[in-house]
A and B are shown apart, each in its own frame.
Chain A
Amino acid sequence: MNLLKIWRQAWRIDEMRLLFLALLVSVTAVTSVNFFTDRTERSMTQQATKLLGADLIVRSSRPLSEDYLSQAKQLGLQQAEIISFRSVVSVGDSLQLSDVKAVSDTFPLRGNVETSSLLDGRSEVDSLSNLKSGQVWAAPTLFSSLEIPPNTEVRIGRSLFNLNKVLVKSPNQGANVFQFSPEVLMPLADLPATGLLTPGSRARFSYLFSGTDAQVKNMTDWLKPQLKTGERLETLDDGLPSVGTALQRAQRFLNTAALLSVILAGAAIALTSYSFSRHETHSVAVLKTMGASRRRILVRYLSQLLLTSTAAAILGAILGYFIQNGIAYMLRDVIGTDLPAPSLVPLITGLLTAWIMVFSFSSPQLLQLVNTAPVQIFQNQPQPRSNRWKLLLLTIMSGIFALMWMQTQDLKLSAFLFLGTLGAILVFWAVSTLLLSQLKKLSRNRKYSARALSSAGNRLVLLVVVFGIGLFSLLLLTALRGDLLDRWQNSIPDDAPNNFLINIQPDEVSKLRAYLNENKIDPDLYPMIRGRLVAMNDKPVVIDDFESPRARRLLQREFNLSSVEAFPEANILLEGEWFKPEDNQGFSVEEGVMERFSLVLGDTMTFDIGGVQFTQTITSVRRVNWDNLTPNFFVLGAPGSMENLPQTWITSIYAPPENRSLVPDLIKQHPSVSAINISAIMTQIKDLIGKAAFAVQAIFAFTLIAGIVVLFAALQSQKAERRKELAILKTIGASRKQLRQSILTEFVVVGAVSGFLAGLFAVLASNIAAYALFDLEPSINLMLILIGTVAGAVLVGIAGYLNLRPLLNVAPAVLFQEHAE
């Protein structure tokens, strides 16, 4: 009853309706983006877990404790087991070294295997329960290298198996594509009989687990302290670096988009509450003449704000839910249908968003309002005291930061965007004040329209800042989106490598290259030298000195070193200088390795390569693009510096599907070379990136709409003031044509100024963001500034004109109906 009354009275205040609208838009934006990113993130994560075959994997070179399995069972996780080892598969006297995996029939827990009973037949999803005792499935390359059809009897260890199906696709192929040999799946139960699993054999034991997020987390928490040396956990992040980074970037982009829509709405809300406090000054003074205390007045306005924001939040959350539901429905083929159950979380997020926005953006004005001196009632144009700007800036900033924190839960991203916004607001403010004061000077004895422009003073500065921030957000997002999509498309073009050729002997390189050239393939061949890192700065490496599991893992394994003349295409040089052709000294090292081992430019690294100590000084640091599917190396030597070291060569090629015999023929000519077919992984990654790209587009479109709506709301907030102004101008005889001209001049100038500043800032920020957040290469795109200026002038001009056109018809008489405001 009472609520209804507060609501009704609040609703009659123009600014309250605007506040409601701005909040509604921002809460709708935030909740729908939240819902949607949550869903797409999950969908992408699911996709990625399919590549891994599980949510969580424990691996070791020794048999794993059965306790892990029983604990997993207790926690309710699904489980599977793999014992993998390299072994020769033979038919008669043909041999092929293969990657044999003895798997339990629950494998894979995520994703699926696809098989075909014919070599070039259609593949179908299959289940390991169809792999009977005495049968094995193998990757197509095994068939081609052994020159056998399906349903052939093959020998593995002491047992004979019927190789009855072609394994077209299988998850859990692991991160390190260089170690692939044809994959062979056999039933776990058949493993003992092969006699291959002896204490000395170099098998890898894995337990795979899957379950709900909470179950996986419980299991991870339980497992971590249990792990013995040599045992390690593998999750999505470290399993597949390329997928991991693609995902991370997509998520960052979506979060950035959501955040920017919040900032947009925030700008509108700040503007609205500014005009709210101006217009309510008289009301407060009236209440004070009636004997209302400050507390009463505060309670009055707080309850109005609280009610308005709560209503907007609830409605916004509901709208947000339906909107994302609509999007999700339209995209059901892309993002899948097993979506998270609707929860109250977005509603709470919506409420928090609305409350934080309203109270952080309007509390300084509210305080100022409540402290209105009652004598102000006698003044026609009560001026809010301006000494609250600092407080206002402070509360707005902390509000924005709280929102960013809530939205991203990513400190780096929040801090980056926060500082960016702060800087942008300050510069926008300073520059627009300067510009407009110049205009004022200029227009002192100029035409009427210019004079009208200058009279608006503070209000224009405010508009420039709001539109500037709005345009800036959209331009920034446009730039990042473009970069991101380009990058993804480039990283996996249609002719991206689908085969790795490894184990090429140095004396075979030229013949192999000739063969590939004949087939119109021009491969980049890299020498691959395996070496163990034994010393840094002449100090022997002791594994126990390193805490980070990644550092320890790197030290336990052998590094793949290489040397190339040209700087690797997809890398970014961070420090130092790349080798000159005549150089035969130095290492170029990946930034992560530098970090993990606390190395700096000029340090030395010593590798043990086949018993030879090889020491070089670090001359440059690179960032490696791991989602590029060409061979990548942590450590590169100077061209020619490693010629005499024991090495094999590798390359990645694109074998067109129509040229079936290309790879098998190559293997026939070069029997020691192994080919790894990665088309299956490629397809999956492409699919994944397609989804991520789509999500990015969708969210971008949404932010764009939110931005436009909110900008309109901001414009609307000045309408009352302008209405009165226009009426006054009319009474003193300004024609409609003059008024139209003055409105257009004002908004075109405001739009151009804010667009110019926005473009300038977007160029700056997108480069910083590209570099710091998205691992993209910086590029100065001056077009952004031009686009910003023109788009600003046109859009703001049109929007402002459309918004104010109805006022041109306002009869001057309204002036006398409404008392001084």
Chain B
Amino acid sequence: MVDNTINYALETTALGKKIQLKNNQSLSILHDITLQIPQGSSVAITGASGSGKTTLLGLLAGLDTASTGDVKLLGQSMVDLDEDQRAALRLGQVGFVFQSFHLMNNLSALENILLPLELEQSVSDPHKAALEALEQVGLSNRATHLPTQLSGGEQQRVALARAFVNKPKVLFADEPTGNLDQATSTDIEQLLFKLQKDNNSTLVLVTHDDALADQCQIHYRIVDGQLVTEA
């Protein structure tokens, strides 16, 4: 399935993002970002609040379009793709974990995990796969519960199961533990790294926690809209 010549899960060249302001001025959030992230590695992005971490993540995942430069996701340049084409590229290959979980409120834990499988339609028994994913995050007894019936930590576990259920090549996480207490955070972090390794996914993790960032193979910091590699 995967072309062997692809070495990088993500590559960017001179990536920049400008925001058009009301008074005809523009604000440059990110500029001249060039990076290469090998398949299977883990990358942390840190930076001050408002430095553009989330913006970069959105660009890398093809949720947003760059003002300048290009992003290659899994070898595919996204500059000429429209929104649906970029979505198709993510389908089954990219997973997300968010700070505020973003489970579908009207779906049970299991149904939330089923969602990416149903969208991708490549797994023969999605139900079984979803149950297994739920078991991996230790919530098999909460399959029918709705998100409102789960605690924050539990919701994030479901979100992790949902993100990893179709063995994504790239997983984006934006402050995945930002809304959780210390102990729960540690659990979730360990689970995240474990699932990443099990699935051999590339992890792009945005965090403000330097200790967490140091657990990743590569650690980038955004300073003045540009990328600085930490030791």
Contact = CB atoms under 8 A, between A and B. Distances in A.
A817 B152 CA distance: 7
A374 B63 contact: yes
Interface stretch (B3-11, B40-48, B95-103, B222-230): B95-103
A817 B148 CA distance: 6
A290 B152 contact: no
A817 B90 CA distance: 29
Given A291-B90, A294-B84, A12 B105 contact: yes
B100 to A, nearest CB: 4
Contact of B64 (A290, A291, A373): A373
B106 A10 contact: yes
B98 A291 contact: no
Contacts of A10: 106
Contacts of B87: 288, 291-293, 374
B107 interface: yes
Contacts of B91: 290-292
Interface in B79-101: 83-84, 87-94, 96, 98, 100-101
B102 A819 contact: yes
Contacts of A817: 148, 152
Interface string B97-129: 010111111110001000110011000000000
Nearest to A289: B96
Nearest to A294: B84
Contacts of B90: 289-291
Contacts of B58: 374-375, 378
Contacts of B102: 282, 285-286, 377, 819
Interface string A351-395: 000000000000000000000011101101000000000000000
Interface in A612-647: none
A291 B84 CA distance: 8
B116 A13 contact: no
Given A286-B104, A816-B152, A820-B100, A292 B119 contact: yes
A374 B174 CA distance: 14
B106 A289 contact: no
B54 interface: yes
Contacts of A282: 102
B61 interface: yes
B146 interface: yes
Contact of A377 (B63, B104, B116, B148): B63
Given A378-B54, A817-B148, A818-B148, A291 B94 contact: yes
Contacts of B116: 290-291
Given A290-B91, A291-B91, A819 B96 contact: no
Contact of B92 (A287, A291, A816, A820): A291
A199 B115 CA distance: 91
Given A291-B88, A378-B54, A296 B83 contact: no
A803 interface: no
Interface in A251-308: 282-283, 285-296
A816 B84 CA distance: 33
A9 interface: yes
A287 B83 CA distance: 13
Nearest to A720: B105
Interface string A640-672: 000000000000000000000000000000000
Most-contacted residue by chain B among A13, A378, A818 (CB, 10 A): A378
Nearest to B101: A819
Interface residues of A, number: 29
B152 A9 contact: no
B107 A288 contact: no
Given A9-B111, A378-B54, A816-B152, A289 B105 contact: no
Contacts of A289: 61, 63, 90, 94, 96
Contacts of B105: 12-13, 283, 818
Interface string B59-88: 001011000000000000000000110011
Contacts of B54: 378
Contacts of B103: 819
Contact of A283 (B93, B101, B104): B104
Interface string B126-148: 00000000000000000000111
B15 to A, nearest CB: 15
A283 B91 CA distance: 16
A294 B88 CA distance: 10
Nearest to A376: B63
Interface in A1-43: 9-10, 12-13
Contacts of A285: 102
Contacts of A374: 58, 63-64, 83, 87
Contacts of A290: 90-91, 96, 115-116, 119
A816 B156 CA distance: 13
Contacts of A294: 83-84
A283 B88 CA distance: 18
A296 B116 CA distance: 12
B148 to A, nearest CB: 6
Given A377-B63, A819-B101, A13 B106 contact: yes
A371 B93 CA distance: 22
A374 B86 CA distance: 11
Nearest to B150: A817
Contact of A288 (B63, B100, B148): B63
Contacts of B147: 819
Nearest to A290: B116
B163 to A, nearest CB: 9
A282 B54 CA distance: 16
Contacts of B148: 817-818
B43 to A, nearest CB: 18
Nearest to A16: B106
A375 B100 contact: no
Contacts of A292: 87, 91, 119
Contacts of A375: 58, 63-64
Contact of B84 (A286, A293, A820): A293
B179 to A, nearest CB: 8
B84 to A, nearest CB: 5
Contacts of A288: 63, 83, 87
Interface in B139-170: 146-148, 152, 155
A165 to B, nearest CB: 76
Nearest to B87: A291
A289 B146 CA distance: 21
A288 B115 CA distance: 12
Contacts of A818: 105, 148
B119 A287 contact: yes
A378 B61 CA distance: 13
Interface string B6-27: 0000000000000000000000
B141 to A, nearest CB: 19
Contacts of A378: 54, 57-58, 98, 174
Given A9-B106, A12-B107, A818-B105, A291 B89 contact: yes
Interface in B156-201: 174
Nearest to B117: A290
A819 B180 CA distance: 12
B180 to A, nearest CB: 11
Interface of A: 9-10, 12-13, 282-283, 285-296, 373-375, 377-378, 380, 816-820
15 contacts: A9-B107, A10-B106, A12-B105, A12-B146, A283-B104, A286-B96, A290-B116, A290-B119, A294-B84, A373-B63, A374-B83, A377-B102, A818-B148, A819-B102, A819-B147
Given A373-B83, A817-B148, 5 more contacts: A290-B96, A291-B94, A291-B120, A375-B63, A377-B63
